[in-house]
Amino acid sequence: MGVLNMELPQEFLHRMKDMLGSEFQEFLACYEEPPRKGVRLNPLKCDWDILEKSLPGKLLPTPFSPLCRYGEGLEKPGLLPAHHAGMFYSQEPSAASAVTALESQPGEKILDLCAAPGGKSTQIAGLLAGKGLLWANEIVKSRANILLSNMERMGVRNAVVSSCHPQKLCESLRGYFDRVLVDAPCSGEGMFRRDPAAVQEWTPESPIACAQRQQAILDSAALAVKEGGVLVYSTCTFSMEENEETVKSFLEAHPEFEPLPISTDFGRPALDGSPARRIFPMDGGEGHFVAKLRRIGENPCRVKANVPSIGKTERRAAQELYERLFSGECPSALSSVSEKLLLLPEELPALSGLGVLRAGVELGEQRGNRIEPSHSLYMSRKKEECRQSVDFSPDSPALAAFLRGEEIECGETGYTAVCVNGVVTGFGKASGGRLKNHYPKGLRNKI
């Protein structure tokens, strides 16, 4: 019965026994153990030393990414101040493997085509270190909003978040990206131990149906990869139909791509002798498949640059507000959308018609003759950049009150960053010894 307190589908078990042979019993034994929790460091916000000081429990290395640790003794991590501050992302440990294979480099243009809820996008953002461009797309609008929220929490400055059909997006941005990640929707067999709903939704026909959808997404993704660029395909399932066979079919249909070896040794080799990698529960994670491909055929890029739109008065007001709140000059790439003012990434393609929810960081919202600064603006800045800040330890009652949306005592006057162990987690407006809370209602702790 195992930790799921339910029977695994018999057809699934038959397939896994055929696949694993002598390792099948070891595979089954893993389902008697709880899944391991993962913590992934956000280098945009802090280093391991600060994160470890900000978390209860113990962190142990994983083979899947230098940014990822097994987390022991972490209960309800989403309530922790370090989580609110974006210091880490709670992620199944082996889920970090796909971005490790992608090998993102600062300054590159990266597309995460199936990005929600944002684990892999925020991992890529950490590796880009604020340089280059990350485009994170999710076709389902409600999930794209969750993606956007996670990107804001993690302080990502150089990203576009969109909700667009993959074919339309990739046709419009043909040949634009150095690297493209397709973490494809799949039958979810690798998540059975973590998610009982995945067991209930699975049918023997699920892998074949998913494989057809995966082929269509990969066909779209191929359009967006520049010549010499890299395409990484990943799933969280075990079936060959969705993994080795999908990659084989793609390569047969796209001779302009070739398989590449993955330069890390997480998991084990693919079942067909290709250079892809597989991860089973016996390998320290749940269930993942990762394949890396390179485009060797031509793919000319004719994408036009974005032209920001902002009036002189709005620009001046935005610059004055920024320089009143933060040290240094306001970034020059500013734009206005409705009543919102944005700090854009330095290099952007034309955005029109691509379902863009956000480009860059929201600086603030125009309210009459003033601009109200945004939560995402503060989350994207470091304490050292803030002209005014208050700092608390993770166990501070005042910090707990702030994260519940309450007013707290404060000796400053005006807009003030609220930090935990030196990392910004929000802001408020101080007056008369009190800080009026500006922490978004939807993000507040209920206890």
Q: Mind telling me the catalytic residues?
A: 236
Distance CA 248, CA 407 (A): 58
Which residue, chain included where needed, has tokens 């910004």?
424
**4 near 31, Cβ under 8 Å?**
yes
Three-state SS string over the chain comes to CCCCCCCCCHHHHHHHHHHHHHHHHHHHHHCCCCCCCEEEECCCCCCHHHHHHHCCCEEEECCCCCCEEEEECCCCHHHCHHHHCCCEEECCHHHHHHHHHHCCCCCCEEEECCCCCCHHHHHHHHHHCCCCEEEEECCCHHHHHHHHHHHHHCCCCCEEEECCCHHHHHHHCCCCEEEEEEECCCCCHHHCCCCHHHHHHCCCCHHHHHHHHHHHHHHHHHHHEEEEEEEEEEECCCCCCCCHHHHHHHHHHCCCEEEECCCCCCCEECCCCCCCEEECHHHCCCCEEEEEEEECCCCCCCCCECCCCCCHHHHHHHHHHHHHHECCCCCCCEEEECCEEEECCCCCECCCCCCEEEECEEEEEEECCEEEECHHHHHCCCHHHECCEEEECCCCHHHHHHHCCCCEECCCCEEEEEEECCEEEEEEEEECCEEEECCCHHHCCCC
Distance CA 261, CA 273 (A): 11
Convert 134-168 to b/e letters by CB count within 10 Å (16 or more is b): bbbbbbeeebbbebbbbbbbbbbbbbbbbbbebee
